[in-house]
Structure 1
Amino acid sequence: MQIELRKSREATRRSQKEVADALAWSPSKLLRIENGAVGITVTDLRALLDHYGVRDRKRVEELTKLAQASRRLNTATYGSSVPQSTIKFWNLRTSAVRVRQFETLLIPGLLQTEEYAREVITAYSTPDLSPEDIDDRVAARMDQKGLLDREERPELYFMIDEAALRRWVGGREVMRNQVEQLKKEAERPGLTIQILPFDLGVHGGIRGPFQILEFAEGTDYVLYLDDASGGIASRDMEAETERYLTLFWDLENIATKQWELNEFLDRVLADLHTKPADENGEPATT
């Protein structure tokens, strides 16, 4: 796969930086894809092929199948940069029939843009993490987004507190791209995004982010409680899992409905355009 992509790029006589700039990617992203260090999502693959002028339907389908196969194997390449507990959870999530995720302060990882993910991962990093480790974690998170492109994937339900949309992670432009990305992802079949507006006041989700993986249609669950150390996933907390599942259903009832999402996100985008910023791109304080 990586050899074919490199040959396609070289045929256009463009450097990695030129291609990355044209697609609004970081140069390291394309470098890692061509080196085989990470897999590539179907969405990114098609963007690359279109940019290279590769439009033969049979060829595109062949490369798409290769990309999907390579991504299923890719978690073995993350090494020590990504906690083993996180890799274990990713593997579980891939085989689930349904995923429910609630986030209080951040956009869910599967929905993050690369720029947003880098800001978050850098903020969470410890002094012992090298810049290469951070690059690896960003690449791994982007690699996991391939789950969204799979023909057979879990039903995905994302519940996001409005605070995650209003927090300027990386500044105005990063947030604008991130909110626009949410609108695009919400168009996918089997993927639902709901927002818990500020005007709901205090709600049960304030206790913190969580994910629930459902396997055998309502009989087998894994509860994942997120934290800075990598999170805790367990099948053994049956009563606790039931409590969080009930909480998620309760939040669904009070959150925005699917048909309200675009209007809500458009208001957030409008505020991003009109709110003054300081010299660092952050919202100005008064």
Structure 2
Amino acid sequence: MRVPPGRPTIRSRQVAGELRRLRKQAGFTTGQVGAQLGLSQAKVSRVETGSSGLRVNDVAAMLGLYRVPEPRQAEILDLVRRAAEPDWVQVHGRGLPEQWQTLIDWESKAVALRSNHAWLVPGLLQTADFARAALRDTAPAALSESELDALVAARLARQAILSRDSPPTVHALLGEMALKVPVGGPGVLAGQLRHLLEVVRKPHVVVRVVPLSAGAHPGLDGAFLLMEFHRDPPLVYTEHRTKSLFLDDDAAVAAHRAAWDRVAERALPQAESVRLIADLADRNG
């Protein structure tokens, strides 16, 4: 079975990136892989960049060479077989950090991130205390301390991209209510607001507040993250109670981009947003 080349889908892009990571982890060069498997170095490189169609047999041979455990091989080969399908739904379980790893992978490759969150400060900008309280209080079932520790660590792992040498530009639209809900109590909220004031000092980060006076707008419909890449098509990520959804369909991406633009039109400029956040931080102590 062969998935034809063309516009890369989210699954083919994920497989390509994973094969590149696994090869490096195993200590092989593309030339060595080609020599071992009877492929040209150029072919291996094209597979790893997503510019070549994926063959199940080729991918299986690479995974075997890299000594990837069989359960993980099965997961990757399933992605190859379904590579032509648009979009990607991930069902949540209590092992949510594994689900977030996919999001971390895509965020690490992005050159621009644009988000909309009307009701809660997004995970990429949360403090550890705020994240713990938010995860604990919004979970559908009680979580143990060890589960909470793992979830908080996974959420904070996303934030490494904000401090790397070439970070993506980040433009977050936050509803005013997201800055007022006392998640974890006034002290935790105040710490979160002060953290936002620190984050916006980074030249690549913009945080703008959508005031309550803006009235109804598309951002009230649900949170989403629009990820843009250097060469590959953009993706949209949305997260719900039981599943996450990655969208790469042109129409879906265009709809979310248009929604983000409409919300941005109603948001305060960054300077006014910073003053509002600072005022709320002072009020909460």
TM-score, scaled to structure 1: 0.63
Measured in 2, the distance between the counterparts of 1:128 and 1:163 equals 25
Does 2:142 align with 1:142? no
The SS at the match of 2:256 is: helix
Contact 2:190/2:282, CA 8 A, preserved across alignment: no
**Cross-structure match for 2:237:** 224
The structural deviation recorded for 1:197 is 0.4
1:90-136 CA-to-partner distances (Å, cap 9, x unmatched) read 10111011111111111011111111000011123343743211111
The SS at the match of 1:231 is: strand
The structural deviation recorded for 1:148 is 0.9
**Cross-structure match for 1:170:** 184
1:241-270 CA-to-partner distances (Å, cap 9, x unmatched) read 101101111222220112212211123224
Letter in 2 for 1:151: D
The SS at the match of 2:255 is: helix
Matches within 5 A, 1:12-51: none
Paired positions, count: 194
**Cross-structure match for 1:253:** 265
Measured in 2, the distance between the counterparts of 1:127 and 1:268 equals 31
Measured in 2, the distance between the counterparts of 1:239 and 1:98 equals 19
Letter in 2 for 1:233: F
**Cross-structure match for 2:274:** 262
Name which of 127, 131, 142 aligns with 1:117.
Answer: 131
**Cross-structure match for 1:244:** 256
Unmatched 5+ residue regions in structure 2? 1-92
Does 2:193 align with 1:193? no
Contact 1:124/1:228, CA 8 A, preserved across alignment: no
Measured in 2, the distance between the counterparts of 1:128 and 1:167 equals 21
Contact 2:136/2:143, CA 8 A, preserved across alignment: no
Unmatched 5+ residue regions in structure 1? 1-78, 274-286
Matches within 5 A, 1:51-70: none
TM-score, scaled to structure 2: 0.64
Contact 1:83/1:230, CA 8 A, preserved across alignment: no
Does 2:107 align with 1:93? yes
Question: Residues 220, 172 of structure 1: CA spacing in aligned structure 2 closer, same or farther, 3 A cutoff?
Answer: same
Measured in 2, the distance between the counterparts of 1:122 and 1:202 equals 29
Measured in 2, the distance between the counterparts of 1:269 and 1:142 equals 22
**Cross-structure match for 2:47:** none
Question: How much is the aligned-residue C-alpha RMSD, in angstroms?
Answer: 2.1
Provide runs of 4+ in structure 1 moved above 4 Å: none
Measured in 2, the distance between the counterparts of 1:186 and 1:164 equals 16
Question: Residues 133, 83 of structure 1: CA spacing in aligned structure 2 closer, same or farther, 3 A cutoff?
Answer: same
The SS at the match of 1:233 is: strand
1:182-206 CA-to-partner distances (Å, cap 9, x unmatched) read 0100000111001000111111111
